[in-house]
A and B are shown apart, each in its own frame.
Chain A
Amino acid sequence: MERWQVVTGTVFAYLLATLAIGLLAGRRSSQSVAGYVAADRQFGLLAMYFITGATVFSAFAFLGGPGWAYSRGVAVMYILAYGVLGIAPWYFTGPKAGRIGRRFGFVTQAQLVVGRFPSRALSILLATISAAAFVPYIMLQMSGAGIVFSAVTEGHVPFWLGAALAYAVVLIYVLIGGVSAVGWTNVFQGIFMLAVAWILGLYIPGKLYGGVGPMFERIAETRPELLLLPGLDADGTPWSWGAYSSAILSSALGLILWPHLFMKSFTARDEETLRRTVVLFPTFQLFLVPIIIIGFAGVLYPSPPPSPDFIVPHIILSAGLPALIVGIFCAGALSASMSTGDALLHAAASIAIEDGVAPFVALDDRRRRFLMRLLVVLIGGMAYYLAIIQQKTLVWLLLTAYGLIDQLAPPVYAALYWRRATTPGVLAGLAAGIVTNIFFLVRADLRPFEIHEGILGVVVNTGVLIVVSLLTRPQDPAHAASFVDEAEAPRTPEPVGAVR
């Protein structure tokens, strides 16, 4: 058997295992919308832990992370630094959002915000932001799958077919199993990624340079600039501290506001489960260390890859490693891509229906489930099409996505923590934040201290939210208290899209 056939066989075994787990898990959840979207709020600790980890670590961490280490040195440490900082507020916010969600029957983040600040315009705006941010993120995951397949099978499985194969499997289990399938496959994928990262991270430097220490000693002699913070910019010049620090801040702020992660607070069995997930999160974060080490192994490697994102496949292919190792790496990278992609697809469709359609059109449970599945296919198809035809604007789109997601922070935190916030304040702030964000995205040269446009947007967003809220009529104190203090609501507001 030829080398690439062993590799492809390993990958297919992995895909079949994922599919089997997804289909089996889907049979466990109930037939309601709450069952499809929020898994009957029944995930335990082990599942939540791997689901969160596997969802956070996407194809970007597995391919982009080493790519950064290779081309930009310790600048890559920003990825390691922001994760923990981003998840920490969740220790308090997650359980609180979960309690409020259970009480009012919320299944999406926007329902929580609109429940506190009733406004159709806000609902549409939030649904639009989520959709705008999701599509490029899904495209990135699909491209990751395509890159891995085409690189590792030496072109026998082309980019378009690789992406299609991986996401056909994702579509099948998301359509049939909903969030239960996403959850249980992520448990499997999370464990798999973790094992692959540590094994390869220690094996590759050992095989090529005689260990991690000797490898870094040689880099310190030949390329010391790679080992000093804040690392290098994409063009090889030193990166600025402003850009490095605000990259950490904007990613940390946005992390739990990604709707697919925020919605996890509604799927957890109880708040203790959520808290423990946060407590265990740093252990998952540390698994990036071996991945980064693999990227540094590329610095001393005699031949350069076609692009930095290809550094890991490049080393693995040209270093004469056993075919089985190559196949396992390939499956690990696919895990990273698919475990984020499935959650994104599922959340994008859920949000489009719950926040974009359900508030305006009467839908029964059955039609809602049907529409949700239809949208999973449509969104998946659109992202796939875009991923195939245009890869060049991907980075630009992804940066837009992060800045947009950051703008959700002021509304969400105001809904949960600030009694005096008003609907006009939140709307005005959100609009101002988005405009600021887009302005500095387009005119990057005008950014003060090279600060990320998402952070600049959040500053304006928060300022406008506070000023306009203080200038407009306060909310009914009992209504505000039912969110901020979690007091008993005076009368149960009709929650948008309540299903229980």
Chain B
Amino acid sequence: MRPRTSRGLLVAFFAAYAIFTMYPGALPFNRIRPMILGLPFPIAWISGWVAASGIALWWAWRLDSRSRGEE
């Protein structure tokens, strides 16, 4: 029914998300500059992960709805 690919994609993405927004994955990115769109790097870094999660979820949803269409 549900393809394994979307589940694999999401699990991998959110595992990375958890590591890179928290200890210890966030450590190398913990500096004020460069500022991005006027935002200090840590704020831009976490906001970027949130935005990327939107793309990952959308991608998984596309995979799922396509495979449902073929059934």
Contact = CB atoms under 8 A, between A and B. Distances in A.
Interface in A190-247: 211-217, 219-220, 224, 227-230, 241-242, 244-245
Contacts of B23: 230, 241-242, 244-245
Nearest to A81: B21
B8 interface: no
A230 to B, nearest CB: 8
Contacts of A215: 38
A282 B14 contact: no
Interface string B35-54: 10111101100110111011
Contact of B50 (A74, A214, A216, A282): A282
Given A85-B14, A91-B57, A282-B51, A211 B38 contact: yes
A88 B23 CA distance: 20
A279 interface: yes
Interface in B13-42: 14, 17-18, 21-24, 26, 30-33, 35, 37-40, 42
A245 B22 contact: yes
A194 to B, nearest CB: 15
> Chain B interface secondary structure, helix, strand, loop or mixed?
helix
A292 interface: yes
Interface stretch (A131-139, A283-291, A436-444): A283-291
A432 to B, nearest CB: 25
Interface residues of A, number: 43
A165 interface: no
A248 interface: yes
A80 B21 CA distance: 10
* Best-buried of A80, A84, A276 by chain B (most CB within 10 Å): A84
Contacts of A88: 10, 14, 53, 57
Contacts, number: 105
Contacts of A283: 54
Given A81-B49, A286-B51, A228 B57 contact: no
Interface in A268-289: 272, 275-276, 278-283, 285-286, 289
A80 to B, nearest CB: 6
A213 B50 contact: no
A496 interface: no
Interface in B43-71: 43, 46-47, 49-51, 53-54, 57-58, 60-61, 64-65
A84 B53 contact: yes
A77 interface: yes
A220 B32 contact: yes
Given A74-B40, A212-B38, A244-B22, A80 B46 contact: yes
A285 B54 CA distance: 10
Contacts of B46: 77, 80-81
A275 to B, nearest CB: 6
* Best-buried of A74, A217, A229, A272 by chain B (most CB within 10 Å): A229
B40 A279 contact: no
Nearest to A224: B32
B53 A77 contact: no
Contact of B39 (A91, A92, A212, A278): A212
Contacts of A272: 65
Contacts of A278: 57
A227 B60 CA distance: 34
Contacts of A211: 38
Contacts of A281: 54, 57
Given A216-B35, A286-B51, A74 B43 contact: yes
Given A84-B53, A88-B10, A282-B53, 18 more contacts: A80-B47, A83-B50, A84-B54, A85-B14, A85-B17, A85-B21, A88-B57, A220-B32, A220-B33, A228-B32, A229-B30, A248-B22, A279-B61, A281-B57, A282-B50, A282-B54, A283-B54, A286-B51
7 closest A-B pairs by beta carbon, nearest first, are A213-B38, A282-B54, A241-B23, A212-B38, A245-B22, A227-B40, A279-B57
23 contacts: A74-B43, A77-B46, A84-B17, A84-B53, A84-B54, A85-B17, A212-B39, A215-B38, A216-B40, A217-B35, A220-B40, A227-B42, A230-B23, A248-B21, A248-B22, A249-B18, A278-B57, A279-B54, A279-B58, A281-B57, A289-B43, A289-B47, A292-B43
Interface of B: 2, 7, 10, 14, 17-18, 21-24, 26, 30-33, 35, 37-40, 42-43, 46-47, 49-51, 53-54, 57-58, 60-61, 64-65
Interface of A: 74, 77, 80-81, 83-85, 88, 91-92, 211-217, 219-220, 224, 227-230, 241-242, 244-245, 248-249, 272, 275-276, 278-283, 285-286, 289, 292
